Structure 1
Amino acid sequence: MNGPASNFDDLQPAACDLSAPLVAAWRVGVFWRRSQSPAPMQPDFSIEDSIGGLVAGIDEAGRGPLAGPVVAAAVMLDRQCTPAGLRDSKMLTEKRREDLAAALWKTARIGVGVASVEEIDALNIAQATLLAMTRAAASLPVAPAACIVDGNLKPKLACPAYTVVKGDARSLSIAAASIIAKTTRDRMMRELARVYPQYAWERNKGYGVTAHLEAIARFGVTPYHRRSFAPIHNMLCADSSLDLA
């Protein structure tokens, strides 16, 4: 009986197509990597329960756009009829956001606060956001025992406030607030788009997309544009005739 091959060079593989095994191995690798990735976080009431009492979640919408106000919402959910599917508003389609917002307005206690473009330019966007949050909490129909706030900025409130990084992915109350803030601001931008249709705010919501920047360069800077933001400030420095205010 012949012994085992003493040299791997003596082993001549039969001709074969390696594409199928390679594809299979790639798929196994992708599956393994996905299986090792943490599952998406699902918001719940764990943070609210750890605090106790009536807890409101607070979040904002509109810190980044070049036009329009910043809007904050404070929401206290009714646990007996909390809408299913609450999560970070950025993870939802526009229709789903609107449907959930309609359900929340029927079942939850909600307060909304707005900081205007003038306040954004006078204070800076961070301070204006905190102002909108303070107004949102103050407009709640019932005073909360505490508020949990998305992010790491803490507004001045009449009750204890706790910041929660990625709170809209962790807390149902903050997720609900993110939906109310986003849908409220989107409606405001659609209304402003009727006055200034050339900027397409109903689509871009005031963000600095290319079409919006081109419209500003062509039609000018409206009273609803944030002059303290670099793109607008730089345009006005280069050409003051763009200022329509």
Structure 2
Amino acid sequence: MLSGYVIGVDEVGRGPLIGDVVAAAVILAEDCQLPLMDSKKLSESKRSVLNEQIKAQAIAYAVAVATPEEIDRLNILNATLLAMRRAVDEVVRQVGDVAEVLVDGNRCPQLPHRCQAIVKGDAKIPAISAASILAKVHRDAQMLELDTLYPHYGFAQHKGYPTEQHLAAIQKHGLIAGYRKSFKPIKALCQDALSG
């Protein structure tokens, strides 16, 4: 039997063209009764309510990011693993004793703890579901903030993903700070600007 806490970890925002990639790490009590599931299967209002409930009930939690600059420097996979490591480190700092880290997906960040990657873990492990909700709410809030500053880009709708609407807005209005310059559509625009 493992002694110590089990941390659930998930990330959001690998696919968008702009903004941070966000990871969350959560430790839940064993008797947690929250109706948790993969954040993508929940409505925005449901996620928002659960976000507050998770923060109120979790034994420990942390949300961490890797910036667009780090994504461009390290690549999206390594930046994602870095954000996960930051979130786990912060939770470990809060509780001290950790038995295992369970990560959604097929890759574990480098950690000094036992770590297991679980494909579709956000649908199977409550602590990973909780992490996916915290990460999604955090990143969506960043996109809503960006939408307030730059309403003509439509960030509230597409959340930074490369939709037709988003690509058309970039073509029309140009790039703002925070775009991931290593991502194909943005890279192409940057090269066009240089050669133009």
Output the TM-score relative to the length of structure 2. 0.92
Aligned residue for 1:10?
none
Quick one: which of 228, 232, 235 aligns to 2:182? Answer: 228
Q: Which has the higher strand share?
A: 2
Deviation at 1:191, TM superposition (A): 1.5
Matched, 1:189 2:143: yes
Structure 1 residues 96 and 241, CA gap change in structure 2 (3 angstroms): farther
Matches within 5 A, 1:111-122: 111-122=62-73
Q: 2:164 is aligned with what amino acid?
A: T
% of aligned pairs identical? 46
Q: 1:188 is aligned with what amino acid?
A: Q
> How far apart in 2 are the matches of 1:211 and 1:205?
11
Matches within 5 A, 1:123-202: 123-140=74-91, 141-143=94-96, 144-202=98-156
> How far apart in 2 are the matches of 1:51 and 1:213?
49
Count residues in correspondence: 192
Contact 1:150 1:163 in 2 (8 A): yes
> How far apart in 2 are the matches of 1:203 and 1:86?
24
Matches within 5 A, 1:1-245: 53-83=4-34, 85-108=35-58, 109-140=60-91, 141-143=94-96, 144-240=98-194
Q: 2:102 is aligned with what amino acid?
A: I
Structure 1: gaps of 5 or more residues: 1-49
Q: 2:14 is aligned with what amino acid?
A: R
Deviation at 1:186, TM superposition (A): 0.7
> How far apart in 2 are the matches of 1:115 and 1:142?
23
Q: Deviations over 1:104-161 (max 9, x none)?
A: 0100021111000000011000000000000000111213221000111110223111
Structure 1 residues 201 and 51, CA gap change in structure 2 (3 angstroms): farther
Contact 1:82 1:107 in 2 (8 A): no
> How far apart in 2 are the matches of 1:115 and 1:123?
10
Q: How large is the RMSD of aligned CA atoms in angstroms?
A: 1.7
Deviation at 1:52, TM superposition (A): 5.7
Deviation at 1:234, TM superposition (A): 1.2
Contact 1:76 1:173 in 2 (8 A): yes
Q: Deviations over 1:3-53 (max 9, x none)?
A: xxxxxxxxxxxxxxxxxxxxxxxxxxxxxxxxxxxxxxxxxxxxxxx8564
Q: 1:75 is aligned with what amino acid?
A: V
Q: Deviations over 1:178-217 (max 9, x none)?
A: 1111011111111122222221212211111111111100
Contact 1:70 1:129 in 2 (8 A): yes
- Which moves more between the two structures, 164-173 or 195-204? 195-204
Structure 1 residues 205 and 241, CA gap change in structure 2 (3 angstroms): farther
Output the TM-score relative to the length of structure 1. 0.74
